[in-house]
Amino acid sequence: MSEPATHDAVFIGWGKGNKTLAAFLAARGESVLMIEQSDLMYGGTCINIGCVPTKALVESANHPSTAGSPSVRYTDAIERKDALTALLRGKNYTMVDSHDTATVITGRARFVGKRELEVTAGGETISVRGDKVFIGTGSVPMLPPIPGLDGPRVVTSTELIDRTELPPRLVVVGAGSIGLELATTYASFGSTVTVVDAVPDLLPSMDRDVADLVASVLADSGIEVILGASVDEISDTGSAAVVHLTTSATAGSKTQTVEADLVLAALGRRAATDGLGLDAAGVAVTEKGAIVVDDRLRTTADGVWAIGDVNGGPQFTYVSLDDFRIVRDQLVADGTRTTRDRRAVPTTTFITPPLAHVGLTEKEARGEGYDIKVASKRVDTIAAMPRARIVGDTRGIIKVIVDAATDLVLGATVFCVDSQEIINLVALAMRHDVTATELRDTIYTHPSSTEALNEVLTI
């Protein structure tokens, strides 16, 4: 094999942080090589199989564009989702490839030395080297060794949202964000949905008043939730999948079965490091397989960084984008930004209505010894939030935890229409020490969901 072609920067994987940094460095004139194993993944997980397509399905489920049977509505939604991801995939490809100093290779990369890789593309293998190497291969679904989990009617989220036929009966194994989002989406399309999880309580990290309200909304949507249930096996009858469960109870455990046309395995995701040859590069991984990084996202190999899900941090595309900022700061600025600078990072689970959270819950704040004030109101009781009635969804709750000594917001949980937007404002206030009183007395547009804070924070 000939001498490796050397680039200023080599990127493995097209995730949010990687593609943004690749475009940034290429725009500065650096020689950039982007390696992505599939032309269907230009742009990364979020664009193609994660945030964007799943939220497009949520929107279609809640606001059908055409009348007709559930199967027709679902087929229309899949076509809309596919068109959107294809559009964004093309834009993301151009984002990198349009630069004169950037090269894109569709192939599989494997380290063979320090910052040196072999790339297999089609039937050809080439050798490349980077002065800097950035690993951004993302994550893949976790599939524990449950008998039958590899059966013909068991799918991951990637496979589920690619199917063009609506499953009449769907069992979701896992009541985390991915499981609940897809459960509510497919229930809205018309599937009969059952969610099973080994945890004894739904949303165990949330305060019980919020979790109980979410549970009631799921039940009203026709979703059955079975908790404290371990999956022993998934068998196949030829016409259906049968999920065998053991549920624990105060009176002792019992077994039961649930039949489904499809079973969604939504049991979390792990770092995608298989086949990368990290040992050859001197890149260490954790016990869970994530790449070991310091607070500046540097790996144990000099000149190699890990960005996004693959480094074991929070699995959010916006965190991957912040990873880009941290690495960029090292390359072109003073290098002082670290992961320790992150404060009040919000999350949203896109059930209907969406469930958003930032900071401490009431239980956590009390456990940490804070003297707190709790501002909490059911959405259907908030007079200052007519938007909820305008859009026809008054379900949910807005709950803000305030430090009684300083009037600063310690955390908030927002379960209502537009919560994914409200939570960003609260998080910004937390990062900049804006008091609860100032949030309460700020002028907001009308009618908006944000103006609910004018009333909720009157405590």
- Catalytic residue set: 446
Helices 177-189 and 208-220, interaxial angle, to 10°?
A: 30
Helices (H), strands (E): how many in the chain? Answer: 14, 22
Cα torsion 97, 101, 106, 110 to 10°: value is -140
Burial of 422 (0-12, 13-18, 19+ CB in 10 A): buried
How far is it between the farthest Cα atoms of the chain? 72
Beta bridge partners of 154: 263
CA-closest candidate to residue 8, choices 117, 132, 174? 132
Q: Is 222 left (phi over 0), alpha (psi -120 to 50) or beta?
A: left
DSSP H/E element including 71: helix 70-97
| CA–CA separation, 354 and 361 (whole Å) | 17
- One DSSP character per residue, 213-278 reads HHHHHHHHTT-EEE-SEEEEEEEE-SS-EEEEEEE--TT--EEEEEEESEEEE---EEE--TTS-H
> Contact at 8 Å (CB) between 134 and 21?
yes
Q: Which helix (H) or strand (E) holds 86?
A: helix 70-97
* Gap between the Cα atoms of 413 and 390, Å rounded: 22
CB 435 within 8 A of CB 457: no
